[in-house]
Amino acid sequence: GCNGTSSFDLDVVDTVESPFDLVSDPNPICIGDTVRITINGRPNAIYSWATNNTNAGLKISNANHNLMIPEKAGIYKVMVSQKHEKCQIASEPAEFEIKVNTLPRVSLGRDTIICELDGGVTLKVADYPEVRWNTGYTGTEMYVENKGKYTVEVMDENGCENKDEITIKEFCCKIYHPNIINLNSYTGNDNFKISHSGCVISS
| pLDDT tens, position by position, 65-95 | 999 999 999 999 999 998 887 777 888 899 9
Q: SS3 of 55, please?
A: helix
Rounded-to-integer distance, Cα 137 and Cα 140, Å: 9
Residue that wins the pLDDT comparison between 42 and 136: 136
26 DSSP β-pair partners? none
- Number of C-beta neighbours around residue 137 at 10 A: 15
- Helix or strand or coil: residue 54? helix
Cα–Cα distance for residue pair 155/152, rounded to 1 Å: 10
pLDDT tens sequence across 186-196 = 665 666 666 66
16-39: pLDDT as tens digits: 777 778 888 888 899 999 999 998
Q: Distance between CA atoms of 161 and 154, rounded to whole angstroms?
A: 6
Please tell me whether the overall predicted TM-score, pTM, comes out greater than 0.85 for this model. no
In this model, does residue 201 exceed pLDDT 60? no
Per-residue pLDDT tens for 124-159? Answer: 999 999 999 999 999 999 999 999 999 999 999 999
3-state secondary structure of 56: helix
What are residue 16's DSSP bridge partners?
A: none
Q: What is the pLDDT of residue 90?
A: 85
Q: What gap in Å lies between CA 26 and CA 36, rounded to an integer?
A: 7
Closest CA to 135 of 144, 127, 124: 144
pLDDT score for 203: 43
